[in-house]
Structure 1
Amino acid sequence: MSLKTQLSSDMKTAMKAGEKDRLGVIRLMQAAIQQREVDERIELDEPQVMAVLEKMLKQRRDSVEQYEKAGREDLAAVERYEIGVIQAYLPEPLGEAELAALVDKVVADTGAQGPQDMGRVMAAVKTAAAGRADMGQVSALVKRRLAG
């Protein structure tokens, strides 16, 4: 079942069950997907839908950080809830060891020698880890690996 179909099905289930908070988050996800489809005049495929959800996840993580700095735990809790709902639609994230092994493999496959090859390595890792890794964490790993 595609992610868009799953979202529609879960939206109906949440409506029937009266889960207002979950329903709101699902509607936000659908709206973001639909907005991108309208803006680009295309039908999004699975990887593109996952990219939209990843972007939403990143936005919420940034918001949690900002709210915590400002002492607004109430708003941070709302964002954490939304993160949980969005993550349920993404594949299981890679573990630290799996991610390190993937970075090592891509560095070896691309023949990357130093920091000047970071863009090439990041592009390959992003494709291989599609939706399963935080790209900020990947970037730090790649920098360390290419630095020596």
Structure 2
Amino acid sequence: MGLLDSLQKDMVAAMKAKDKNRLKTVRMLKAAVQNEQISVGHDLTPDEEVGVLSRELKQRKDSLEESKAAGRDDSVQELEGEIAVVQGYMPAQLSADDVKAVVEETIKAVGATSKADFGKVMGAVMPKLKGKADGKLINATVKELLG
């Protein structure tokens, strides 16, 4: 069962349960996936689906940070709920230790020795970890290991 089928099924379940926040989030995710399908002109591959979910999750996390900074508690609770729903559709995320192991392996493969090689390492490691780990965690891990 594809992501769209899963979203449709969950949308119906949320309607029956009268869970308005979950319903709203699932509808937004479904629309984002459908819009991406239209823009690329074919059914999305699992990697492309994860890319859409990652983008939606990042948008919500950014909005959450802004809402916290502005002291908007109502918005913070709503966004935390949306983030939980989106994360439910994401593949399992790697732990910080797993990310560190992949980054260390990549640093050795690239032959990086200093912070000047940061771009090389990020360019090599991001395709390996895309959708499997948070970009900020990867970035911080690379900086820590190179610095």
**How high is the TM-score relative to the length of structure 1?**
0.88
> In the alignment, residue 18 of structure 2 is paired with which amino acid?
G
In structure 1, the residue matched to 2:20 is 20
1:62-109 Cα deviation digits (max 9, x unpaired): 111111111101101111100000001112221111111111011112
Separation (CA, whole Å) in 2 of partners of 1:137 and 1:103? 11
In structure 2, the residue matched to 1:113 is 113
Q: Is the 8 A contact 2:110 2:121 kept in 1?
A: yes
- 1:121: Cα distance to partner? 2.3
Separation (CA, whole Å) in 1 of partners of 2:2 and 2:121? 29
> In the alignment, residue 89 of structure 1 is paired with which amino acid?
Y
In structure 1, the residue matched to 2:139 is 139
Q: Is the 8 A contact 2:21 2:78 kept in 1?
A: no
Q: Is the 8 A contact 2:106 2:125 kept in 1?
A: yes
| Range 75-84 or range 1-10, more displaced | 1-10
Q: Is the 8 A contact 2:50 2:90 kept in 1?
A: yes
In structure 2, the residue matched to 1:81 is 81
Q: Deviation above 4 Å: which 4+ runs of structure 1?
A: none
Separation (CA, whole Å) in 2 of partners of 1:39 and 1:97? 37
In structure 2, the residue matched to 1:30 is 30
In structure 2, the residue matched to 1:45 is 45
Separation (CA, whole Å) in 2 of partners of 1:112 and 1:72? 43
Give the count of matched residue pairs: 147
Gaps of 5+ in 2: none
> In the alignment, residue 63 of structure 1 is paired with which amino acid?
S
Structure 2 residue 129 is matched with structure 1 residue 129? yes
| Range 106-115 or range 19-28, more displaced | 106-115
**How high is the TM-score relative to the length of structure 2?**
0.89
| Range 123-132 or range 21-30, more displaced | 123-132
Q: Is the 8 A contact 2:121 2:142 kept in 1?
A: yes
Aligned alpha-carbon RMSD (Å): 1.7
In structure 1, the residue matched to 2:55 is 55
Instruction: Specify the SS of the correspondent of 1:88.
Output: helix
- 1:26: Cα distance to partner? 0.5
> In the alignment, residue 112 of structure 2 is paired with which amino acid?
A
- 1:116: Cα distance to partner? 4.1
